[in-house]
Structure 1
C-alpha cells in the first residue's frame, strides 16, 4: 500500500563484531552486580531520567491513542485520526481508495461504527470521513505546528499496522522538508508531497492515516509512506514519511468547511507531460503533451512537443522530478523553465499558477 523508493544499508553485523573485539582486547568482562551478604545479587535501580522518559511515553500514549482509529474499507485496512467532536476523521486518500462507506473501530467502541466519505484529495493523499453516529467519549486529537518540528525529536507512530489495532512504535525525526513521490503500482495515489517529515519510527501497511506524535502529545504528521528498495523488494527499515500536520490542518479544514479543497497551495504549469528518453534509453526530460488553455505554460509560449529539462534550479529528467520541483514552489512565484524545441535549448520566464 505504501511506496517510496530508497536503498537500505545493512551494517549491523560488522558493528557487533567490532564491539566484541574491543571488549576482548581491553580484557574487560561484563561487571557483576554487587553481592549481598545473603549471597543474592542486587538489581540496579532504573535511572531517574529513564523513569521520567518512560512516564512521558506512557502519558502520551494514554492521551493520544484513544484519538486513533482503525478504518476498514472493502479491501483495505488503515488508520485514521479523530479531527473534531463532530465525528470527522482524517486519513490517507489511498486508505479510502474509491470507497464511500467504511467500518471504523474507535477506542470506545466494541463494535465497528459506520462512516461515510466527505471528500478525498489524492493530490496530497489526504481524505476526510465522518462517523454516521458520534459515540459518547469520542476524543479529538491535538494537531501541532509541523514548522517547529526538529531533527532528533522523539516521536511515536500510532495506528493499526498489519491489522494490529492500537499499536505504537517509537523513533526520532530523521529529517524534515522531504519532497516525496508515491508510486501507483502498490496502492499509492501517485501524489508528490512536499515538506514531509522523515522518521525512524516503524511504519507498516495499516499505519497509513494514523498519527505521528511528539512527546507533548501533539500530532505532527500523518504516517503515509514506508521507503522500499526496488532491488530487495522489501521495506527499508527505519525510513518512513509523514504528511506534515500544518498541511493536514489546511486541507482538512477546507474539506470540512467547503466539502472539497478550494485552495491547494500547489504550484502548476498548466500542462500534461510524459517522460522521454535519450538515445541510451535514459530519462531526458518531461515532454509537454498538452497545454491547458489560459495556463502559465501557454501564456509563456511553451508548446506541445517541448521537452522541459529544468525548472528554476531543479534539473528535470522525468515527470516525477517536474512534479517534485513544482511542489517546492508556490502559486504566483516567477521562475525559469528551460526546455528543448527541435533540438535547440531555450528558456522562458513563467509565473506559476495553482493546481
Structure 2
C-alpha cells in the first residue's frame, strides 16, 4: 500500500514539473514574441524618414576656432613672397606656309619651298626662390635641370607678374642654377638656415609649383626623414649628400625651397633626385639639396658663372665590371681587393700623369675616402679645390702604392660624359 502511495506521489510531482516547464516555455515564447514585436516597431520608427516641414534643417557657419597663425602658417607667410615659378622656353620650328592635303605648302599655292622661323614655347616649368636683392637686381636659385636647354627664361613672381630672367650660371654636378631678374617688384627675400643643424623628425614645409605655375605657391608639410642620404645628383651621376623628407615634392616643385618652422630655407627641393632613385613612385620620399651646399655653389656661380673642380685627366672603369680572371691575370690584384676603379687611359700632362699613374693601375682610396667605383671617386675628388694636394692609394702589378696628386688642373663639371668608360 505504501508503495502505491509513493508511486502516486512521484507521478504527481512529475506532472507538476512537466506542467511548470510547459507553462514556462509558453510564457517565455510569448514574452520573446512580444519583445521582438517591440524591437521591430522601434527599428521601423527610428529609421523611417520623418514627415513634415524641412525648415528646421538649416544651419550656420560658426566662428573658426583653429589657430590661423600657427607656426607653420607663420613660416609659410614669411617665405611665400620669395617663391617663384620658373619657365623654360625653347625654340620650336614652325612653317610659315599653309597646311594642305599633302602637308605644308606655300600660301599662294605655288611649289616654292616655304620659309620657317623659330618660335619660343614653354618646354618645362619649375620653381625657385629669391634669396638676394641688390640694387635693381634680384637673384633666384633653382635646379639646373629646370633651366637646362633653355633659349629664354621667365620668372613668375608670387603676385603673378611675369618677368624675364638671365642665367647667371649652372652646375650639373649639384643640379643647381642661379638666375637674375629685375628687382622692381620683389618685396620678399628668403634667408638660408644651417642645414647641418637639422634633425630627423623636425617639421618642414615644401613650397613650389607642383605640376606647373597653375598651382604656384602650393605648400606641403612633412618632417625631416633623414638629414644625410647619399644619392646621385645631376646628369653626371656625382654622389652627393641630400636631405630626405616626407613633405610632398612633385614635378614642378624642383628648385623650390624646403623651409623650417622659422621660415629659413634649409634645402632646395629636387624632383630630379627623386626620379633617379629606385622606387621613386613610392609616396613620402622626397629629396632636397642641403642649404650649406647650396650657398657654397651659389657664391661660386655668382663669382665665376660656373663651377670648376679638380680633374685627374683619366678615363676609367669600375673594377666590378672586370672579370675575376682578368683581375688576376691582367691586373694581378690580390683576392682581398674587390672594389675600386681601373685606369684605362692617362692624358699626357694631366694631374694623374704628373703623379706617375699609369694604365691598369687600380685606385682604391683618395684621401681618407675608400673608392668603390667611379661615382665614389668623383665624390671624393670634388671635396678638394683646385690647387690642393690629395693622397691617392692604388695597386700596380699586385702591389699597393701611394702618390700625391697636385690638383692644379680643373674641369668645368657642367659638361658630362654618359659613355660606359668614365672620364675625370
Instruction: Please indicate, yes or no, whether the TM-score normalized by the shorter chain is above 0.5.
Output: yes
Partners of 2:157 and 2:265 in 1: how far apart? Answer: 17
Among 328, 349, 353, which residue is 2:403 paired with? 349
Q: Please say if residues 194 and 328 of structure 1, whose CA atoms lie closer than 8 Å, have aligned partners that are also in contact.
A: no
Measured on the aligned residues, the alpha-carbon RMSD in Å equals 3.2
Match of 1:322 in 2: 377
Partners of 1:226 and 1:82 in 2: how far apart? Answer: 23
Change in Cα spacing, 1:284 to 1:148, as seen in structure 2 (3 Å) is closer
Q: Secondary structure at 2:201's aligned position in 1?
A: coil
Match of 1:114 in 2: 164
Match of 2:3 in 1: none
Q: Secondary structure at 1:161's aligned position in 2?
A: coil
Q: Please say if residues 231 and 240 of structure 2, whose CA atoms lie closer than 8 Å, have aligned partners that are also in contact.
A: yes
Partners of 2:200 and 2:389 in 1: how far apart? Answer: 28
Partners of 2:246 and 2:389 in 1: how far apart? Answer: 34
Q: What TM-score results when the alignment is normalised by the length of structure 2?
A: 0.61
Among 145, 162, 167, which residue is 2:211 paired with? 162
Match of 2:86 in 1: 71
Match of 2:256 in 1: 210
Change in Cα spacing, 1:175 to 1:347, as seen in structure 2 (3 Å) is farther
Partners of 1:330 and 1:239 in 2: how far apart? Answer: 32
Q: Please say if residues 308 and 316 of structure 1, whose CA atoms lie closer than 8 Å, have aligned partners that are also in contact.
A: yes
Change in Cα spacing, 1:96 to 1:314, as seen in structure 2 (3 Å) is same
Q: Secondary structure at 1:248's aligned position in 2?
A: helix
* 2:228 is equivalent to residue 177 of structure 1: yes
Match of 1:197 in 2: 243
Change in Cα spacing, 1:317 to 1:193, as seen in structure 2 (3 Å) is closer
Match of 1:288 in 2: 343
The Cα offsets for residues 272-299 of structure 1, whole Å up to 9 and x where unpaired, read as 3233513279995422244355554333
Change in Cα spacing, 1:78 to 1:193, as seen in structure 2 (3 Å) is farther
Change in Cα spacing, 1:295 to 1:175, as seen in structure 2 (3 Å) is farther
Match of 2:128 in 1: 80
The Cα offsets for residues 285-339 of structure 1, whole Å up to 9 and x where unpaired, read as 4222443555543333211332324445654343123223435667636434233
Deviation, 1:121, is: 1.6
Q: Please say if residues 239 and 376 of structure 2, whose CA atoms lie closer than 8 Å, have aligned partners that are also in contact.
A: no
Q: Secondary structure at 1:87's aligned position in 2?
A: strand
Q: Please say if residues 367 and 390 of structure 2, whose CA atoms lie closer than 8 Å, have aligned partners that are also in contact.
A: no
Q: Please say if residues 128 and 255 of structure 2, whose CA atoms lie closer than 8 Å, have aligned partners that are also in contact.
A: yes
Q: Which has the larger radius of gyration?
A: 2
Change in Cα spacing, 1:61 to 1:335, as seen in structure 2 (3 Å) is same
Match of 2:359 in 1: 304
Partners of 1:247 and 1:205 in 2: how far apart? Answer: 22
Q: Please say if residues 174 and 200 of structure 1, whose CA atoms lie closer than 8 Å, have aligned partners that are also in contact.
A: yes
Partners of 1:103 and 1:89 in 2: how far apart? Answer: 11
Partners of 1:239 and 1:158 in 2: how far apart? Answer: 16
Partners of 1:279 and 1:318 in 2: how far apart? Answer: 15
Deviation, 1:346, is: 2.5
Q: Please say if residues 128 and 208 of structure 2, whose CA atoms lie closer than 8 Å, have aligned partners that are also in contact.
A: yes
Partners of 1:315 and 1:153 in 2: how far apart? Answer: 32
| Higher-RCO chain (CA-CA 8 Å, sequence separation at least 6) | 1
Q: Please say if residues 228 and 236 of structure 1, whose CA atoms lie closer than 8 Å, have aligned partners that are also in contact.
A: no
Q: Please say if residues 204 and 226 of structure 1, whose CA atoms lie closer than 8 Å, have aligned partners that are also in contact.
A: no
Tell me how many residue pairs correspond in the alignment: 294
Q: Please say if residues 269 and 352 of structure 1, whose CA atoms lie closer than 8 Å, have aligned partners that are also in contact.
A: no
* 2:281 is equivalent to residue 235 of structure 1: yes
Among 289, 296, 318, which residue is 1:275 paired with? 318
Match of 1:90 in 2: 141
Q: Please say if residues 267 and 352 of structure 1, whose CA atoms lie closer than 8 Å, have aligned partners that are also in contact.
A: no
Partners of 1:304 and 1:347 in 2: how far apart? Answer: 14
Q: What TM-score results when the alignment is normalised by the length of structure 1?
A: 0.71
Among 277, 286, 292, which residue is 1:246 paired with? 292
Deviation, 1:145, is: 1.8
